Structure 1
Amino acid sequence: MSVIKNVSGRRVWDSRGHPTVEVDVTLENGVMGRAIAPAGASRGTREAIDLRDGGPSVQGKNVRRALESVNGPIAAALKGLDVQDQGGADAAILALDGSPLKDKLGGNATVATSLAIMHAAAADAGKPLWRHISDMTGYAPSLPLPEIQIFGGGAHAGQRVDIQDFMIMVPGASSFDEVMEITNEVYFAAGDIMKAKGKLAGVADEGGWWPMFDSNEEALETLVQAIEKAGETPGDRVVISLDIAASEFGKDGRYRLALEDRDMDSGEMIDMLGGWLDSYPIASIEDPLSEDDVAGTVEFTRRFGDRVQIIGDDYLVTNADLVRDAQAQGACNAVLIKVNQAGTVSESLETFRAARAKGWGAIVSARSGETEDVSISHLATGLGGGQLKVGSFTRSERMVKWNECLRIQDTLGVRSFVGGAPLAATWWGKKNQKDTAA
């Protein structure tokens, strides 16, 4: 048994220049694991909170209280525990905070510690992290299909457009490296198009182009143009993925598109998105309705769940019970896995298992406030999760995660890339099967 000797936290800084929590877990044999808590701008109301200090210092976002949690009660509870027992260590953390959103210890304190334990366990076993995760969970490892932002919007871009993420996926690629090359072409083609139109204005929080559009649909039109300019046929190897993040502009069944000065009810919102699905090669759509619009999400899934991947993010907040409820209700067919939404690795794994038990997709995801931490690249690979959402194709806190997958590919091999498998049930998967048969 490899015993935890010490747990210590420090303040570091994320991609937005805000403080966050880094944790070192050191074992009695001298092995150490380290991880950093990310932070989201678009947050579900039911996800674990980041414990911040408030007050005038660093915009009220200081993390001294969260660090006190790490260096005090969490460190005391973990000392002497077996690092290879991830569930037992996480249970010890959870026993310290009975609040559902971890508002006593802070989700930023718990997630950094939980991830650091996992890193320490992998190092202690002499395994790469992805292999440790695979061995711990029993899932076969595979390299995920990336979901990469081209235009950032919503809370990631000052609400310049209402829709939060306009992304591409390349399910027709034969390797992770090929995805990167094709994405490079599409990303810079999009920049060239915006420059030619006099609409190039820098990048958003996650590295996608800042959206200088006159309507939300113009972003979709431009994305199609960028795919074509890159030499690809939209809907062939390259498809579109959207994160609507509808909770940012919808409540109580009403939706307000500020960019277009347009108000809609739930039915009208569903019809608008359905029109987009008919007009553009969209294979995946995240949070199409707000987190409080259960009836709307159920209806959207009823109408379009057999042709598109419908992901719950704010709607499900990496919560296994919410996933099971949604499955019973017929809402969504996939869940976003954000470890900091849950607060611990074990809770995130439970959510992943709940999704897979009913044949749902499970997409491991970063947050808009990120760091050099590469845990999620290994998590998506070790779980064989099929998909990874990190942000865009620029900014080092994004690229470090894509590049880590390329390093993993050197070990696992090109054939470990899942390609279009995660989207097999969507219209793209069905189209691809027909094209292959022909």
Structure 2
Amino acid sequence: MKITNVSAMEILDSRGNPTVRAYVTIDNKITGSASVPSGASTGIHEALELRDGDDKRYCGKGVQKAIANIHQRIAPQLVGMNPFNQREIDMAMLELDGSKNKEQLGANAILGVSMATAVAAAKACNLPLYKYLGGVGAFRLPVPMMNILNGGEHADNSVDLQEFMVMPIGAPSFSEALRYGAETFHALKKILKKKNYATSVGDEGGFAPNLKSNDEACELILEAITQAGYTPGKDISLALDSAASSFYKDGSYDMHWSGTGKKTTDEMIALYQDWMEKYHIISIEDGLDENDWDGFNKLTAAIGKKVQIVGDDLFVTNKEFVQKGIEQSSANAVLIKLNQIGTVTETVETIQLCRKAGWNYIISHRSGETSDTFMADLCVAMGGGQIKTGSACRSERIAKYNRLLEIERELTSAALFC
């Protein structure tokens, strides 16, 4: 089989901004499509998302240049290639781009085509995407890291930290874990209403009230877990995405809403040590600034045996940064985002590096999402056992959860959840 056509169109993401949807057709008339997400809190080393910069159209956020690159440059290169040679196709696009961060073609253009190729190939094999990508070992369902309270860059409120998540670690299956999380989400809504806090939601579906402190956010979630009928630390634990780079200024962490003012790296580590015990926190993502490598080394040495220390902006799904982190023991887990690196192949290579080092890896959405469910299948294919895909509301988040429910149903007794 050969690729016969590659095309794309401009669609809108969950924030109402343009993004790329790509299509790859092979010679048996099967077409695969994929839509590319977009982040708000982005690492400085991420692959470049190509935008038009025309202020008269979509406030400069149009992606017609990326679309044109797919039609005029990528398509002629890929037509005639074997769709099952994913790595060869991805490497051809990287060579065509020629830059370190995909700034010539745009990571959004390259990734859209890369994902659509995999979807088309899976269809041609009459396989679900997770089986095509993961083979016979694709049977592990993930523990959801459900974002139920938003702050930072994902909400216009008084909370410094970006995401407060619940992890249903005591659930016996994915479907039950999803129920645990959803029930806690609804319990939290009732608590917020009772306290006269707003129940509007942020970019990823978590509630975004103005709270008295970051501590109060954790306290409210623990109360919600209990009211939902679960035991904190046994049935459900907490996870944080601090996105600390967003409040790192002039050499210190300005957590102005915490009531304690600016903090040094050592003071932030001490804060996490206190919260870890007090709030049943088992995972901390981007707890320090993306360039604070020494700080990450200290944080991991201090609590890494008890807590999952996750690098997102620190690593940007790039195996070069992950290798540096492994050598320095800067973390013990990596957040995996397809659009941070820009191809399916490079994403898988980073995951393979994590496996080799014995590190955890978490497949993650972005704050600007679409209804595309590629990442849900990728999560099962790669078997990492954890997924971040937002709250128990907003259809672009629920689409991923519902896809995982479908996969669990399809796998029946073969499904593994742990």
Q: Would the aligned equivalents of 1:150 and 1:208 in 2 still touch at CA under 8 Å? A: yes
Say if 1:251 and 1:79 are closer, same or farther in 2 by CA, change over 3 A: farther
* Residue of structure 1 equivalent to 2:113: 113
Q: How many residues align?
A: 416
Q: What SS does the corresponding residue of 1:391 show, helix, strand or coil? A: coil
* Residue of structure 1 equivalent to 2:373: 374
Q: Partners in 2 of 1:242 and 1:304 — Cα distance?
A: 14
* Residue of structure 2 equivalent to 1:163: 161
Q: Is residue 344 of structure 1 aligned with residue 379 of structure 2?
A: no
Say if 1:28 and 1:326 are closer, same or farther in 2 by CA, change over 3 A: same
Q: Would the aligned equivalents of 1:151 and 1:210 in 2 still touch at CA under 8 Å? A: yes
Q: What SS does the corresponding residue of 2:73 show, helix, strand or coil? A: helix
One-letter amino acid matched to 1:4: I
One-letter amino acid matched to 2:230: E
One-letter amino acid matched to 1:325: K
Q: What SS does the corresponding residue of 2:96 show, helix, strand or coil? A: coil
TM superposition shift of 1:206: 0.6
Q: What SS does the corresponding residue of 1:240 show, helix, strand or coil? A: strand
Q: Partners in 2 of 1:253 and 1:345 — Cα distance?
A: 36
* Residue of structure 2 equivalent to 1:193: 191
* Residue of structure 1 equivalent to 2:50: 51
Q: Partners in 1 of 2:347 and 2:256 — Cα distance?
A: 34
Q: How do residues 20-419 of structure 1 correspond to structure 2 at under 5 angstroms?
A: 20-56=19-55, 57-135=57-135, 139-158=137-156, 160-251=158-249, 253-260=251-258, 262-413=261-412, 416-419=415-418
Deviates further, 344-353 or 92-101: 92-101
TM superposition shift of 1:321: 1.2
Q: Partners in 2 of 1:342 and 1:183 — Cα distance?
A: 30
One-letter amino acid matched to 2:33: R
TM superposition shift of 1:59: 1.4
Q: What SS does the corresponding residue of 2:97 show, helix, strand or coil? A: coil
Q: Partners in 2 of 1:297 and 1:133 — Cα distance?
A: 32
- Quote the sequence identity (%): 43
One-letter amino acid matched to 1:37: V
One-letter amino acid matched to 1:255: Y
TM superposition shift of 1:159: 5.3
Instruction: In structure 2, list runs of 5 or more residues that go unmatched.
Output: none
Q: Partners in 2 of 1:401 and 1:180 — Cα distance?
A: 11
Q: Partners in 1 of 2:101 and 2:256 — Cα distance?
A: 31
TM superposition shift of 1:264: 1.0
Instruction: In structure 1, list runs of 5 or more residues that go unmatched.
Output: 420-438
Name the TM-score, length of structure 1 as normaliser. 0.93
Q: Partners in 1 of 2:321 and 2:250 — Cα distance?
A: 19
Q: Partners in 2 of 1:103 and 1:160 — Cα distance?
A: 35
Q: Partners in 1 of 2:150 and 2:118 — Cα distance?
A: 32
TM superposition shift of 1:252: 6.1
TM superposition shift of 1:200: 2.0
Say if 1:417 and 1:153 are closer, same or farther in 2 by CA, change over 3 A: farther
Deviations 1:177-220 (A, max 9, x none): 11121112100110111101110241110111113211111100
Say if 1:180 and 1:140 are closer, same or farther in 2 by CA, change over 3 A: closer
Q: Would the aligned equivalents of 1:251 and 1:292 in 2 still touch at CA under 8 Å? A: no
Deviations 1:6-59 (A, max 9, x none): 100100110000000000000111011000000000000001121111132111
Q: Partners in 2 of 1:27 and 1:283 — Cα distance?
A: 45
One-letter amino acid matched to 1:313: D
Say if 1:252 and 1:413 are closer, same or farther in 2 by CA, change over 3 A: farther
TM superposition shift of 1:77: 1.0
Q: What SS does the corresponding residue of 2:323 show, helix, strand or coil? A: helix
TM superposition shift of 1:160: 3.0
Q: What SS does the corresponding residue of 1:7 show, helix, strand or coil? A: strand
Q: Would the aligned equivalents of 1:251 and 1:290 in 2 still touch at CA under 8 Å? A: no
Q: Would the aligned equivalents of 2:175 and 2:405 in 1 still touch at CA under 8 Å? A: yes
Name the TM-score, length of structure 2 as normaliser. 0.97
